[in-house]
Amino acid sequence: MALGNELITSALAKINSDWTYVPLEDGWLLVTTSHQYSDGDHVELLVRRTNRSVEVSDGGEALARLELAGVNVERGQAREMWRRLLRAHEVELHQERLSMEGPLDEAGALVDNMANAVANIDGIRLLAPAPRDSRFDERLVTFFQSEFEHVEAHPQLQGRSGGTYHVTAAVGYPQKMTYVQAVAGANNHTRQRAVEHAFTIFSDVNGSLPTARKLVVLSDTDWRPEQTNLLSGVAYVGSWLYRDRILRFITTGRHPQSHMLMPRQSEMTQAT
């Protein structure tokens, strides 16, 4: 080990004897500290001697971890926390790497401060936006694409009123596609609006599209009987929870007398 590294490790050992060191190229020393990231990984830093001083760098790890978590430190609350922590730890940013420099005999304190800074900065990842749940209509299209060769997302239909509508998907055989409208909602109001929208679409296209080629797929089974009855008057009605029945309906071409491709609410209540 070079004399410079020996001086550095000697200074570091005064702070923590449990740290480990691996010499790298260009005079750098990789130091694995006892500090940990939020996921349990140990903080590793780069240290090297420059003349009579020592340079400490995170090698770009802090920013890389935040970017991987989906955090943008150039805007919003994340930017404020980022800047506050850099100031608090007196750390500088150069070419997306955190760094600091000081006297050789203070190497241990510098590394300890940088390790603390990097670990604290890693906590900004808690500000990462929660993963967006895919919308029900997107999940439904993806499901159909995994089951059928011919799937058209958001095809346009012409109504008797002259209005045009984009339904969720057209699925099945090219000359005899089944037109599907997804129906979902986060609350009673949006669910009722979704029901009315599907009813309007399939009522208006009755003249050009037979009921056997119209399908409403509900996001779940927790719908009022009057809502499912309304929809079953203009289309077949299935549920995401009973996808096997939807697949049979589309693939076999058999159209049962009942337009309900799922148990009615009364049947499900009795089953439970």
Residue 24 β-bridge partners:
none
Predicted confidence at residue 268, as pLDDT, reads 46
Q: What is the mean pLDDT of residues 43-65?
A: 88
pLDDT tens digits along 117-163: 999 999 998 877 666 567 899 999 999 998 998 999 999 998 888 88
Predicted confidence at residue 22, as pLDDT, reads 85
Residue 260 β-bridge partners:
237
Concatenated DSSP letters of 117-182: HHHHHHGGGGGSPPPPPPPHHHHHHHHHHHH-S-EEES-EEE-TTS-EEE-SEEEEETTEEEEEEE
Please enumerate in sequence order all residues whose Cβ is within 8 A of that of 39, keeping only pairs 6 or more positions apart, or say none: none
pLDDT tens digits along 56-102: 999 888 988 888 788 888 888 888 899 999 999 999 998 889 999 99
Greater confidence (74 vs 168) lies with 168
* Residue-range domains of the chain with CATH: 3-127 (3.30.1460), 136-271 (3.40.1350.10)
Predicted confidence at residue 4, as pLDDT, reads 53
Share of the chain above pLDDT 70, in %: 90
Compute the chain's Rg from CA coordinates.
31
pLDDT tens digits along 198-217: 999 999 997 779 999 999 99
Predicted confidence at residue 127, as pLDDT, reads 79
